[in-house]
């Protein structure tokens, strides 16, 4: 008896996806709950697990686009790898080499020992696992090892890069065309997530009248309050007190003061949202995603920090659910973690506003007639000028600035 492995429905608007990486190979024994493959869609990446014990028989290749409901594999419940059958098959080159006393290829022996996260990086970056030095327990390759290997290859010399490009082109499943003979160009199909991001950004630019206004805020008081409360907060809640929870709270207060920014245009109508589901942009290896913190106005600082940390972890591991990315009313993006001093964020449709945070940098400023050095951050609000006027945008930013510079005016609960 066999169990069909079908592509599950992962969201109302999603009709297809791509089999990004098989975590189990065809003919391999699997157990119920084992991750079989990663399904990458235009919104999220989801690990599909086995629903029964048995031997996996795959029907779809890595990189293949599949429809919702399509059968991509079968699990033969009564089957088991037969040693006798395996002996009848011709010995693979690695086995033959071992019989001759030659060392077995680390690439073959170690491939099945890679974790799903590491395997995904190795497959996408086309790395040779046998050449990666593992720092994990028993010499296992960690995610950090794989990322470091990818970065080191990017910094390789021209000759090595040229050879690598040629090998990648021959092996890449998603390659659409061969590179130039000198290896200077490689054409690869964009992932569904990256294509969706591109479509959303172009749509935002083409459908909204985006304007950005700037302000700056002094981070001294927030930094002092965090330093004072950090130890007790962490001990009590099991999570660190970060900057983002302050900005979420300040943003909610600003949205209450200027409610139009918490609305959206729908056709010829204006929809006013009287709830505060704040999207927090998270950068991942696969692209930018925006999970939503629900009812941010009703949550404590600790709850906000837990939600944000949990979403960031899920995003990096590709485990965000589609419902966790939908329904936000406003977005906060922190380019400062990458060192950005100033930028103009693009709206996240159909929202009408997005707040950009930036790098904290010590700068001389005038304080009551004296020049003082303070930790300063530039703030940027991009908004839909069809709905929001300059006065409202400036008022919003000033309200955020006041909340950050005087954090005790926020609903502090620690």
Query: pLDDT (tens digit, 9 = 90+) per residue, 337-355?
Result: 999 999 999 999 899 999 9
| SS3 (DSSP) at 134 | coil
| SS3 (DSSP) at 23 | coil
φ, ψ for residue 155 (rounded to 5)? Answer: -95, 10
d(CA 347, CA 200): 9
d(CA 133, CA 119): 14
Token pair for residue 37?
């493959």
pTM of the model: 0.63
- If phi > 0 it is left, if psi is from -120 to 50 it is alpha, else beta; for residue 153 that is alpha
Instruction: Evaluate if residue 103 carries a pLDDT over 90.
Output: no
Q: What is the pLDDT of residue 105?
A: 41
Which residues, 6 or more positions from 234, have their beta carbon under 8 angstroms from its beta carbon?
240, 241
CB 381 within 8 A of CB 213: yes
Q: What is the pLDDT of residue 196?
A: 76
φ, ψ for residue 327 (rounded to 5)? Answer: 85, 10
Q: Which domains does the chain have, with CATH numbers?
A: 1-89 (2.40.50.100), 195-409 (3.30.559.10)
Instruction: Evaluate if residue 181 carries a pLDDT over 70.
Output: no
Burial class (CB in 10 A: 0-12, 13-18, 19+), 215: middle
d(CA 187, CA 190): 9
d(CA 394, CA 215): 8
Q: How many CB atoms lie within 10 A of CB 108?
A: 15
d(CA 411, CA 414): 9
Instruction: Name residue, tokens 């942009």.
Output: 281
Q: What is the pLDDT of residue 166?
A: 38
| SS3 (DSSP) at 119 | helix
d(CA 55, CA 78): 8
Token pair for residue 156?
């390789």
d(CA 308, CA 144): 22
φ, ψ for residue 73 (rounded to 5)? Answer: -165, 170
Q: Which residues pair with 187 in a beta bridge?
A: 177
Which residues, 6 or more positions from 126, have their beta carbon under 8 angstroms from its beta carbon?
164, 167, 168, 171, 172
Q: What is the pLDDT of residue 154?
A: 54
Token pair for residue 41?
């869609």
Instruction: Evaluate if residue 84 carries a pLDDT over 60.
Output: no
* Helix axes of 390-405 and 220-237: crossing angle, nearest 10 degrees: 60
Q: Mean pLDDT over residues 228-248, rounded? A: 96
> Length of the chain, please?
414
Q: What sign has the CA pseudo-torsion 266, 272, 275, 279?
A: positive
Instruction: Name residue, tokens 């009248």.
Output: 209
CB 248 within 8 A of CB 304: yes
Q: pLDDT grade, residue 293 (50/70/90)?
A: very high
Q: Which residues pair with 364 in a beta bridge?
A: 373
Q: pLDDT grade, residue 176 (50/70/90)?
A: very low
Q: Say whether the peptide bond before residue 350 is cis (omega within 30 degrees of 0).
A: yes
Instruction: Evaluate if residue 408 carries a pLDDT over 90.
Output: yes
Q: Where are the beta strands (DSSP E) in 84-235?
A: 175-177, 187-188, 210-218
The more confidently predicted of residues 242 and 160 is: 242
Token pair for residue 20?
């990004």
Residues recognised as catalytic: 385, 389
Q: Mean pLDDT over residues 62-70, rounded? A: 86
Instruction: Evaluate if residue 136 carries a pLDDT over 80.
Output: no
Which residue pairs, CB below 8 angstroms and at least 24 apart, start in 84-91? none
CA distances from 345 to 85, 249, 340 (A): 60, 20, 11
Instruction: Evaluate if residue 377 carries a pLDDT over 50.
Output: yes
| Least confident range of 89-103, 119-133, 172-186 | 89-103
């Amino acid at each position: 008896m066999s169990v069909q492995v079908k592509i599950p429905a992962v969201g109302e608007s999603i009709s297809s996806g791509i089999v990004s990486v098989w975590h189990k190979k065809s003919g391999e024994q699997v157990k119920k709950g084992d991750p079989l493959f990663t399904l990458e869609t235009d919104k999220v990446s989801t690990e599909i697990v086995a629903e029964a014990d048995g031997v996996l028989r795959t029907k779809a290749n890595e990189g293949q686009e599949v429809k919702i409901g399509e059968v991509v594999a079968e699990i033969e419940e009564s089957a088991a790898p037969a040693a006798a059958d395996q002996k009848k098959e011709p010995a693979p080159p690695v086995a033959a080499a071992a019989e001759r006393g030659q060392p077995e290829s680390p690439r073959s022996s170690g491939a099945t020992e890679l974790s799903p996260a590491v395997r995904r990086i190795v497959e996408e970056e086309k790395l040779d696992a046998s050449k990666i030095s593992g720092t994990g327990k028993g010499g296992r390759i960690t995610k950090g090892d794989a990322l470091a290997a990818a970065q080191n290859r990017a910094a390789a010399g021209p000759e090595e890069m040229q050879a690598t490009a040629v090998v990648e082109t021959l092996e890449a499943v998603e390659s659409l065309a061969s590179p130039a003979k000198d290896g200077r160009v490689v054409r690869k199909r964009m992932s569904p997530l990256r294509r969706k991001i591109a479509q959303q950004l172009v749509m935002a630019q083409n459908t909204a009248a985006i304007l950005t206004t700037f302000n700056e805020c002094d981070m001294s008081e927030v930094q002092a309050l965090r330093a004072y409360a950090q130890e007790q907060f962490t001990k009590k809640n099991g999570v660190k007190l970060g900057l983002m929870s302050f900005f979420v709270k300040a943003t909610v207060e600003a949205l209450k003061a200027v409610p139009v920014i918490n609305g959206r245009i729908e056709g010829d109508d204006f929809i006013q949202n009287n709830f505060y589901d704040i999207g927090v942009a998270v950068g991942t290896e696969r692209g930018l995603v925006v999970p939503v913190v629900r009812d941010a106005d009703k949550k404590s600082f600790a709850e906000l920090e837990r939600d944000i940390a949990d979403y960031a972890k899920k995003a990096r591991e590709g485990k965000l659910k589609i419902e966790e990315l939908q329904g936000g009313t406003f977005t906060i993006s922190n380019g400062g973690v990458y060192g950005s001093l100033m930028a103009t964020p693009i709206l996240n449709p159909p929202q009408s506003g997005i707040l950009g945070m930036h790098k904290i940098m010590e700068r001389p400023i005038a304080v009551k007639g004296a020049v003082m050095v303070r930790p300063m951050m530039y703030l940027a609000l991009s908004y839909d000028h069809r709905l929001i006027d300059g006065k409202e945008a400036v008022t919003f930013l000033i309200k955020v600035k006041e909340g950050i510079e005087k954090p005790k005016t926020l609903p502090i609960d620690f």
